[in-house]
Structure 1
Amino acid sequence: MPGAVLLGRIARTAAPFVLMAVAWQIASLFFPPYLFPSLVAVFWRCLEILTHWSQLVDVLATVSRILAGLAGAFVIGAAMALAMARSKAVDGFLSPILTFFQGIPALSWVVFAIIWFHGIEFRIFFIMVLTTLPAFTFQVLGALRAMPKDLVEMVMSFRPSRAKIFRVMVLPSILPEILTAWKVNLGNASRVVVVAELVGATGGVGYQLLQQQQIFDMAGALAWTLQLVFFVLIVQYVLTLIETVAFRYRAVSERSL
């Protein structure tokens, strides 16, 4: 019975993608390849990218830029959130700035970075940090403020060290929000990095997409896009595994009820 339930879930999840693939393949029979290429052609282009180092290096460059930008934004955002949670003055100063930054389009940050900075890698890092920083900061801040006051008072009554406070109380309370923030910002970062590479890079997935656009190679454009999709899905899966392991006690408590 559990096997049948699992197969049913897999079928429901896969059904929309199967329908999309069938619709695309049918369209490829009636339209030229530069509009709707065959999925077989797209598959072989994906395989070519993954098996040729000269092309795979562009995928790895984009992946490293995404991870570096997210890591930088998370570290800075967590530090800012902690300062804002501890001081109303800091919160009152930083909140309007972060809210203002949220309204600035990613393309504007790309233009600013090109004008301000010379190095390509620092430009992209700057863009990635500035576009994801507000979300990280506000989500960590919300998690810190959502900690139950009764729990805080109870833990503080034992006079624990700062390291123990963080390990026993703070980290378990904010970790769900941190993982959610990473999942949300991961998708945003994958879109922003493509824009940054389209305009100001000489390598990466965004740069390769620009090359495919110039020669009207739709199969290549889809293949390069799918590299980012695969990366996002893999990282999302890893984050889900971390969440499952970190909060396995929840499943135990639910079974006991």
Structure 2
Amino acid sequence: MGSTIILSRIFWSVAPFLLLAALWQFASLWFPPFLFPSLVDVFRRVFQILVDLGQFVDVLATVGRILAGLFGAFVLGGLLAVLMNRSPGVDRFISPILTFFQGIPALSWVVFAIIWFHGIEFRIFFIMVMTTLPAFTFQMIGALQAMSKDLFEMVLSFRPTRLQMFRTMVLPAVLPEILTAWKVNLGNAARVVVVAELVGATGGVGYQLLQQQQLFDMAGALAWTFQLVFFVLITQQIITMIERYAFRYRAVSERSL
């Protein structure tokens, strides 16, 4: 019974992609390659990018920009969340600013960065931080404010050190929100960095997509797009594994019930 359920879940997870691939392959029989290239050609290009160090460097450059921007926004967002949680006045002052920033389109941040800054890498870092900072901050401040006050006071009664308080009280409370914020921002960051590279970079996946567009090479455009898709899927799976390990006690509690 259990194996049947697992197989059913796998089937329904894979079936939509198989149908989409079949429809695309069918369209490739009737349309020219610059519109609907064969999936064989697309995945041949994917493999060429992976094994060609000269091309794969562009993938690594984009991945590095995504991770650097996310880490910068995460650190800054964590500091802001702590300040906002400690001081209602700071919260009232910063929250509207972050909400305002959240409404600014990513393309606008790209334009601002090009006007304000000269270096390409700092431009992209700035864009990544500004587009992902509000989500990180709001997720973490929400987790901090949702902590049980009674539980917090009970833990204080044991006179823990700051490290013990962080490890036993704060971290378990905020970690689910932190991991969720990383999952959400990861996909957003992948989209934003491509836009930033399209208009202001001399390397990376976005730059390569621009080259494919100029050549009307749909197979190449899809191959470079899949590089980012693979990165997002793999990274989200790693985050899920961390989540399962960090909260493995929940599965034990559910089984005991």
Q: Counterparts in 2 of 1:59-208, with a 5 A limit?
A: 59-208=59-208
Distance in 2, Cα, partners of 1:230 & 1:7:
23
Distance in 2, Cα, partners of 1:8 & 1:92:
49
Superposition CA RMSD, Å: 0.6
1:251 aligned partner: 251
Question: Deviation of residue 165 (structure 1)?
Answer: 0.8
Q: Counterparts in 2 of 1:231-246, with a 5 A limit?
A: 231-246=231-246
Matched, 1:41 2:36: no
1:173-227 Cα shifts (integer Å, max 9, x gaps):
1100000000000000000000000000000000000000001000000000000
Question: Deviation of residue 2 (structure 1)?
Answer: 2.7
Question: Deviation of residue 5 (structure 1)?
Answer: 2.2
Distance in 2, Cα, partners of 1:41 & 1:3:
36
Distance in 1, Cα, partners of 2:79 & 2:159:
24
Question: Deviation of residue 100 (structure 1)?
Answer: 0.6
Which amino acid in the other structure matches residue 53 of structure 1?
L
Distance in 2, Cα, partners of 1:38 & 1:148:
56
Distance in 2, Cα, partners of 1:140 & 1:187:
18
1:100-151 Cα shifts (integer Å, max 9, x gaps):
1001110011011111111110100000000000000000000000111111
Question: Deviation of residue 4 (structure 1)?
Answer: 2.5
Moved over 2 A (4+): 1-5
- Secondary structure at the counterpart of residue 33 of structure 2: coil
Which amino acid in the other structure matches residue 12 of structure 1?
W
Unpaired runs of 5+ residues, structure 2, are none
Which amino acid in the other structure matches residue 57 of structure 1?
V
TM-score where L is the length of structure 1: 0.99
Distance in 1, Cα, partners of 2:250 & 2:166:
20
TM-score where L is the length of structure 2: 0.99
- How many residue pairs are counted as aligned between the two chains? 257
Question: Deviation of residue 47 (structure 1)?
Answer: 0.4
Distance in 1, Cα, partners of 2:71 & 2:42:
32
Distance in 1, Cα, partners of 2:104 & 2:21:
36
Which amino acid in the other structure matches residue 15 of structure 2?
A
Distance in 2, Cα, partners of 1:190 & 1:174:
24
Distance in 2, Cα, partners of 1:52 & 1:234:
20
Aligned residues with identical type, % of pairs: 75
Which amino acid in the other structure matches residue 188 of structure 1?
N
- Secondary structure at the counterpart of residue 31 of structure 1: coil
1:141-168 Cα shifts (integer Å, max 9, x gaps):
0000011111111111111111111111
Which amino acid in the other structure matches residue 94 of structure 1?
I
Unpaired runs of 5+ residues, structure 1, are none
- Secondary structure at the counterpart of residue 158 of structure 2: coil
Question: Deviation of residue 40 (structure 1)?
Answer: 0.2
Distance in 2, Cα, partners of 1:203 & 1:213:
15
- Secondary structure at the counterpart of residue 73 of structure 2: helix
2:24 aligned partner: 24
